[in-house]
Amino acid sequence: MNIEVFEADSDGEGMRIGVVQARFNDAICEALRTACLGALLEGGVAEEDIFVCTVPGALEIAFALEQLALSGEFDALIAIGSVVRGETYHFEIVSNESAAGITRVGLDYSIPIANAVLTTENEEQAFARAAEKGADAARVAIEMANLADSLSELSAPLEDLP
């Protein structure tokens, strides 16, 4: 078989990336952001092409992402947050609804969004995963922005469709 497999590259040069960071569980979110920003810079994204804003918590991330997507200024977005299980059902609501909102914004506005909102049983798990997840989100954002750009070239203009 000779099937072509397309893989996007990981070069972030010339990209503009928006990051929305929740402040709830601040120390965990700061660790996520530090790793994310470091990986964006390593991936070739220029410091002046990275925009970061903060929101109170994970449920507010989707709103800020939507505002950034509406601006048309970004090649990809990154969501950063931390939801740690507590003693109530609130964990499930925040985890599920924040993930659904992030996904909805990406699909509604056709912009890649890397979801680095950790959902863990305790703070120890969150801190153990923060550096890897933050850096991974940066790499995902760059790769998906490149992929989106490449795949858009495959799309026929609307006027060419039957």
User: Annotated catalytic sites, by residue?
Assistant: 90
Residue with tokens 């070239």: 153
Tokens of 112: 């890649």
Q: In what order do the strands lie in the sheet with 113-120?
A: 50-55, 17-22, 76-84, 113-120
Nearby residues of 8 by Cβ (< 8 Å), 6 or more positions away: 143, 144, 146, 147, 150
Within 13 Å of residue 52, how many CA atoms lie on the same side as its CB?
Answer: 16
CA distances from 158 to 21, 62, 109, 133, 153 (A): 36, 29, 17, 38, 13
Estimate the crossing angle of helix 90-109 against helix 61-71, to 10 degrees.
10
